[in-house]
Amino acid sequence: MSDLTRLSASEIAGLVASGAASAVEVAQAHLDRIEAVDSALHAFLHVDTEGALDAARAVDKQRANGDALGQLAGVPLAMKDVVVTKDLPTTAGSKILEGWRPPYDATITRRIKQAGIVMLGKTNMDEFAMGSSTENSAFGPTHNPWDLNRIPGGSSGGSSAAVAGYQAPLAIGTDTGGSIRQPAAVTGIVGHKPTYGGVSRYGLIAFSSSLDQAGPFARTVFDAALLHEVIGGHDECDSTSIGAPTPPIVAAAREGARGDLSGVRVGVVRELGGEGYQPGVLASFQAAVETLRGLGAEVIEVSCPHFEYALPAYYLIAPSECSSNLARFDAVRYGLRVGDDGANSLEDVMSLTREAGFGPEVKRRVMIGTYALSSGYYDAYYGQAQKVRTLIARDFATAFEKTDVLVAPTTPFVAFDIGERAADPMAMYVNDLCTLPASLAGTPAISVPCGLSEGLPVGLQVMAPALADDRCYRVAAAFEAATEPVLAAIPELSG
Amino acid sequence: MKYEEVLAKYEPVIGLETHVELGTASKMFCGCSTEFGAEPNTQVCPVCLGLPGSLPVANEKAIESTIRIGLALHCSIATWCRFARKNYFYPDMPKNFQTSQYDEPLCIDGYLDIRVGEVDVRIGIERVHLEEDTGKNTHVGTSGRIHGADYSLVDYNRAGIPLVEIVTKPVAGTGALAPEVARAYVTELREIMRTLDVSDVRMEQGSLRCDVNTSLNRPGEEWGTRSETKNVNSLRSVERAVRSEILRQAEVLDGGGKVVQETRHFQEQAGDTRPGRSKEEATDYRYFPEPDLVPMAPDEAWVESLRSALPELPAARRSRLRDELGVGAADMVHMSNAGVVDLVGATVDAGAPVGEARNWWLGYLAQQANAREVEPAELPIGVDQVARVIELVAQGALSVALARQAVDGVLDTGASVDAVVAERGLEVVSDTSALEQAADDAIAANPDIAEKVRGGKVAAVGALVGAVMKATRGQADAAAVKEILLKKLGASG
Amino acid sequence: MDVSPALPGRRAAERRIGRSRASVDFDTVSESSDASTGRISRAEVAHLARLARLAVSEDELDLFAGQLDVILGAVARVGEVAADDIPPTSHAVPMTNVFRADEVRPPLPREAVLAAAPDVEDNKFRVPRILTDEA
């Protein structure tokens, strides 16, 4: 049998459904691959060998019984460690949660298990999803399978590396300011941030509640749509969950793969490009726009003047919300406790625990958020940032009056070296320039590979109006069908 | 300084913040039970334990109850409002923020009319908002209190129970009556909660808690600096806390000092207030709209349907008692002084004749309240149970003596009247042959007394009646026993 | 101009991000910082750390004071937008009145509740002595 780890999720599902491969074989092949290459990649924080094989056996048994199988039954998946998994270690990349085994499943974990998807383990990430490189993990960085000296993006860098590195055909990421799209872009895979409220947040360890969204990573647009369909849809445990069905994303991915974008109006956002972007990135993007035009799309330049305020607004809103969300890590109910020597007060123990348990980026953001929410500063900072969100949403609305989707590079640069930007928070934050507007507006956006620059992948971002995730999938699938697979160029990992 | 002297020099301004735990079946943001008295940490889930990843979903009944409270207090109901996070670290708060409301409360700007003696006072209501309760800390160590404790233990069963906060506007101009006004306000508020059936409002269990703000100023001057007194756990304490704060602040001011804005704790035993431990620095709660919840927008149709379904409120019930049920003015004053007007009214509403309801509440129940040093309304017996006792007596199923035993049982165990009657076998013995036998026994055992009765001293029969009652453990109808005895002794009553 | 002269490792190329006419002008952000926020002092960082229950070290106070100053200067740019008449957005898809029925659901088993606790006594969470009064 050909290497099972090189197949797409839908191919694997087909083999399992037909009996050409057992789910156990598939799981074992991926576990072997992890065993072989994860010492180099460090994509996983926890590999659940027994749990994966048990889940695979259950799928094989279902098939043997003649039970109906889900569309992705038997397909392995790598789960970002920010998603709560019952009885499996869940750390969100933080020392403060080291050893915690949650007593419950996130809604998306439950849906993934019910679909017969085989969870291989938990992937590395920037601590509490704060970062763009996975260097902020308390458990060491993940390496980009394209070049082990480079970052795999972040915060969902473990998930992107696992998929690009053929450890799993599918992965779950979360995106607060670009944490699915940017890692997808710099590892040459597909990643989609759904419309806010489209996928339940119940069981996602919160970073910024009004921005966080879970979404799929895959090596093809179609696979991403299949996974999105499994995790998406209304959840009564999440008050912000949209009470409408997931848009027809799988059908849209199929439709797009036919390669016809006639009648589709594609807006190029003037403000997301230009000086400061790497020339190779811009060149790949220009070529991508031409490809879209070649597929029949009508290309229009649009202006979104308030996008330039997305970065300052984001770096107020996200830290503000996280300063409150992370207050619960206090050494009382779960997690780390430091300094409980019988003499220290609870207040001391809380402060010592949080000091020891949080990394520098988390502390920075907690303090910025604490500052921005303080009385006297609230209106000028958090309040004003929420108004900027309105302006950004209006920019989108105006642009979507004459376009169906907007496109931009996913990131200003390709994967950079580990350590290159670590010392300077602001240098790291500019990674998110192109992804932040859709985060703040809550609109869906996908990143699909669009060629290489200096031998490293570049991402094309396709943005759509809220609830129109299907447009992202359609355009991305058409683009994918019209271009050479980027991953074909990935160097073989020695393993 | 005497209270009267203080009031000659200073004018008190009071304000009250009352927290009422709602009697919903489940918590504010999750499905955990709100039952009181469960084993520690058995009524918690990922949401109310603040586990990473968990999210709140608001309890519709709690919102509805809050709106009903607002309507009963003549408030305007917000057409759009949000929950907010109040951020501060405390171990009884699982998320280290309290989901509350800040500048967008559900209900604003109402009032409550109360009467103290012959004086009518309108208490302005600033706001009524909804939030979640905290867990409970137990302090372990020789003191048993937070100060000087060795360590503390936390139980989160209470965390997340819906809590309504009712804040008054400052109440000025009530002079020496201020302590009584405070008490009357809380009393009336509690009656309204009972009538709305939104809470069991039991101060001793903490389902109604009160913070009292007090300040003093000289006539014509600006209002003084206020203190906030917490730990006020009974109606009596509300009155005492205000009075002791007035006295304490007057002493400070008379001594040329300044009243400090601070939180104080009422000491039940000593009857005074003591300062809390001052914080290192002013608390900054960093309120912001709760992003995990969406706004509430009660539409007019919903609010109006709640308004039209409001029950008759205590004030209206009182005037009905007076006007329709014919309770005389003197009786009203009597009942008012005993704090049982609403209880009588509610007992009547539960089906009892007004005279019987009045007699029970002014008689035996008032005595029991007195013996227990609580208000009649604080007795752990519901008006439906009182009405049931009255019904059983009327049916002849209980004698008055048995009825009192049944009430004692309810007060002691919290069980229903019917359960107490069944369990203790409290039934009138109407088996005539058993009574005849008991009468014969009593006569045989007390020949001297029997002879006196036979000789015409009918009053002496009481001792024999007592003996029969004792023999039947009080379960006979005394009048019937007397009749039997007199008949047997050839005398007539 | 240099955004952060005090910070090491910042490259000229990175500083040029967003210099173009239309894109995010990243370098100008610190200009407004002096006007809007002023310098964040060590004392202010210490205050924030106390509020956030972080026992930061002396070295961190210096590091964070510099970094927070730059970041807060940068984000203060949101104030440049005239937005007095603009309503704030908290959620992308506006929703109201998302409620649940008042129904009791099963709690967690107590073993699961207490399993992850650093310290337990009498089935309660044990914590060191508490200094401050309740709020």
State how far the alpha carbon of A9 is from the alpha carbons of A4, A34, A171, A225, A275, in Å: 10, 17, 11, 11, 38
Tens place of pLDDT for every residue, chain B, 493 residues?
789 999 999 999 999 999 999 999 999 999 999 999 999 999 999 999 999 999 999 999 999 999 999 999 999 999 999 999 999 999 999 999 999 999 999 999 999 999 888 899 999 999 999 999 999 999 998 776 777 789 999 999 999 999 999 999 999 999 999 999 999 999 999 989 988 999 988 888 889 999 999 999 999 999 999 999 998 989 999 999 999 999 999 999 999 999 999 899 999 888 899 987 655 456 799 999 999 999 999 999 999 999 999 998 988 888 888 887 778 777 877 787 787 888 898 899 899 998 899 999 999 999 999 898 888 888 889 899 999 999 998 888 888 888 998 999 999 988 899 998 888 877 777 677 778 888 888 898 888 888 888 888 888 888 888 888 888 777 777 888 888 888 888 876 5
Q: Give the span between the Cα atoms of B469 and B400, in whole angstroms.
A: 13
Query: Which among B284, B295, B291, C63 has a CA at the least distance from the CA of A207?
Result: B291
Q: What is the pLDDT of residue B73?
A: 98
User: Helix H segments across A65-133?
Assistant: 107-114
What's this model's pTM, rounded to 2 decimal places? 0.87
Chain centroid to Cα A165, Å, comes to 16
Secondary element (H or E) of residue A16:
helix A9-18
Which of A321, A327, A334 has its CB closest to that of B96?
A327
Residue B481 · residue B468 · CB < 8 Å: yes
Q: Are strands B208-217 and C120-121 parallel, antiparallel or unpaired?
A: unpaired
State how far the alpha carbon of B431 is from the alpha carbons of A275, B334, B434, B485, in Å: 106, 41, 5, 15
Question: What secondary structure letter does DSSP report for A214?
Answer: E
A467 and C CB contact within 8 Å:
yes
Which of A312, A337, A350 has its CB closest to that of C77?
A312
Range B363-366, long-range pairs (CB < 8 A, 24+ positions): B364/B404, B364/B407, B365/B340, B365/B407, B366/B338, B366/B340
Residue pointed to by tokens 């000028």: A380
Q: Look at C124 and B30 and tell me if their CB atoms are within 8 Å.
A: no
Q: Give the span between the Cα atoms of A457 and A490, in whole angstroms.
A: 9
Instruction: Determine what percent of chain A falls in helix, strand and coil, rounding each to the nearest 5.
Output: 45, 15, 40
Residue B118's contacts (CB-CB under 8 Å, 6 or more residues apart) are none
In this structure, how many other beta carbons lie within 10 angstroms of the beta carbon of residue A282? 17
Fill in the amino acid letter for C75. Answer: V
Residue A452 · residue A289 · CB < 8 Å: no
State how far the alpha carbon of B451 is from the alpha carbons of A301, B469, B491, in Å: 121, 20, 11
Q: Give the span between the Cα atoms of A244 and B47, in whole angstroms.
A: 24
Q: Look at C98 and B32 and tell me if their CB atoms are within 8 Å.
A: no
pLDDT over 70 (residue C23): no
Maximal C-alpha separation, chain B: 90
Q: What phi and psi, each to the nearest 5 degrees, are found at residue B368?
A: -65, -40
Q: Is A205 helix (H, G, I), strand (E, B) or coil?
A: coil
Q: Look at B53 and A382 and tell me if their CB atoms are within 8 Å.
A: no
Q: Give the span between the Cα atoms of B220 and B317, in whole angstroms.
A: 39
A102 and B CB contact within 8 Å:
yes
**Å between B212 CA and nearest CA of chain C:** 15
How many residue pairs bridge chain A and chain C with CB atoms within 8 Å of each other? Answer: 256
- Partners for B (CB, 8 Å, 3+ pairs)? A, C
C5 and A CB contact within 8 Å:
no
C19 and A CB contact within 8 Å:
yes
Omega before A155 within 30 of 0, i.e. cis = yes
Q: What is the pLDDT of residue C17?
A: 33
CA pseudo-torsion sign A298, A303, A307, A308: positive
Structure token pair of residue A479: 């683009």
pLDDT grade, residue C36 (50/70/90)?
A: very low
Tens place of pLDDT for every residue, chain A, 495 residues?
469 999 999 999 999 999 999 999 999 999 999 999 999 999 999 999 999 999 999 999 999 999 999 999 999 999 999 999 999 999 999 999 999 999 999 999 999 999 999 999 999 999 999 999 999 999 999 999 999 999 999 999 999 999 999 999 999 999 999 999 999 999 999 999 999 999 999 999 999 999 999 999 999 999 999 999 999 999 999 999 999 999 999 999 999 999 999 999 999 999 999 888 999 999 999 999 999 999 999 999 999 999 999 999 999 999 999 999 999 999 999 999 999 999 999 999 999 999 999 999 999 999 999 999 998 899 999 999 999 999 999 999 999 999 999 999 999 999 999 999 988 888 888 889 999 999 999 999 999 999 999 999 999 999 999 999 999 999 999 999 999 999 999 999 865
Structure token pair of residue B397: 């199923």
Q: What is the arrangement of strands in the sheet containing B151-155, beginning at the earlier edge strand?
A: B136-140, B151-155, C124-128, C120-121
Residues of chain C contacting residue A337, judged by C-beta atoms under 8 Å apart = 118-119
Q: Look at B59 and C91 and tell me if their CB atoms are within 8 Å.
A: no
Q: Look at B45 and C107 and tell me if their CB atoms are within 8 Å.
A: yes
Which of C70, C81, C127 has its CB closest to that of A426?
C70
Residues of chain C contacting residue B52, judged by C-beta atoms under 8 Å apart = none
Which of C113, C126, C135 has its CB closest to that of B44?
C113
Q: Is A37 helix (H, G, I), strand (E, B) or coil?
A: helix
Chain centroid to Cα A294, Å, comes to 29
Q: Give the span between the Cα atoms of A155 and B487, in whole angstroms.
A: 98
| Angle at which helices B178-196 and B60-72 cross, to 10° | 130
Residues of chain A contacting residue C83, judged by C-beta atoms under 8 Å apart = 384, 387-388, 390-391
Q: Is A208 helix (H, G, I), strand (E, B) or coil?
A: coil
Fill in the amino acid letter for B208. Answer: L
Query: Which among A352, A420, A410 has a CA at the least distance from the CA of A141?
Result: A420
Residue A418 · residue A40 · CB < 8 Å: no
Fill in the amino acid letter for B114. Answer: I
Q: What phi and psi, each to the nearest 5 degrees, are found at residue B212?
A: -115, 125
Residue pointed to by tokens 């009075």: B243
Burial string for C27-52 (b: 16+ CB within 10 Å, else e) reads bebbbbbeebbeebeeebbbbbbbbb
Residue A437 · residue A384 · CB < 8 Å: no
Q: Give C 43-72 residues with CB within 8 A of chain A.
A: 44-45, 48-57, 60, 63-64, 67-68, 70-72
Q: What is the pLDDT of residue C19?
A: 31
Q: Give the span between the Cα atoms of A204 and A214, in whole angstroms.
A: 8
Q: Give the span between the Cα atoms of A82 and A252, in whole angstroms.
A: 29
Q: Give the span between the Cα atoms of A135 and A125, in whole angstroms.
A: 8
Q: Give the span between the Cα atoms of B9 and A404, in whole angstroms.
A: 76
SS3 per residue for chain B: CCHHHHHHHCEEEEEEEEEEECCCCECCCCCCECCCCCCCCCCCCCCCCCCCCCCCCEEHHHHHHHHHHHHHCCCEECCCECCEEEECCCCCCCCCEEEECCCCCCEEEEEEEEEECCEEEEEEEEEEEEEECCCEEEEECCCCCCCCCCEEEEECCCCCCEEEEEEECCEECCHHHHHHHHHHHHHHHHHHHHHHCCCCCCHHHCCEEEEEEEEEECCCCCCCCCEEEEEECCHHHHHHHHHHHHHHHHHHHHCCCCCCCCEEEEECCCCEEEECCCCCCCCCCCCEECCCCCCECCCHHHHHHHHHCCCCCHHHHHHHHHHCCCCCHHHHHHHHHHCCHHHHHHHHHCCCCHHHHHHHHHCHHHHHHHHHCCCHHHCCCCHHHHHHHHHHHHCCCCCHHHHHHHHHHHHHHCCCHHHHHHHHCCCCECCHHHHHHHHHHHHHHCHHHHHHHHCCCHHHHHHHHHHHHHHCCCCECHHHHHHHHHHHCCCCC
Q: Is A451 helix (H, G, I), strand (E, B) or coil?
A: strand
In this structure, how many other beta carbons lie within 10 angstroms of the beta carbon of residue A40? 15
Fill in the amino acid letter for A260. Answer: D
| Angle at which helices A310-325 and C58-75 cross, to 10° | 140
* Paired strand residues for B76: B108
Question: What secondary structure letter does DSSP report for A232?
Answer: B
Q: Give the span between the Cα atoms of A201 and A213, in whole angstroms.
A: 7
Q: Is A417 helix (H, G, I), strand (E, B) or coil?
A: strand
In this structure, how many other beta carbons lie within 10 angstroms of the beta carbon of residue B342? 27
Q: Give the span between the Cα atoms of B134 and B198, in whole angstroms.
A: 19
Query: Which among B446, B431, B444, B421 has a CA at the least distance from the CA of B481?
Result: B431
Residue B137 · residue B178 · CB < 8 Å: no
Residue A268 · residue A491 · CB < 8 Å: no
C110 and A CB contact within 8 Å:
no
CA pseudo-torsion sign A193, A195, A196, A197: negative
Q: Is A489 helix (H, G, I), strand (E, B) or coil?
A: helix
Structure token pair of residue A223: 């696979």
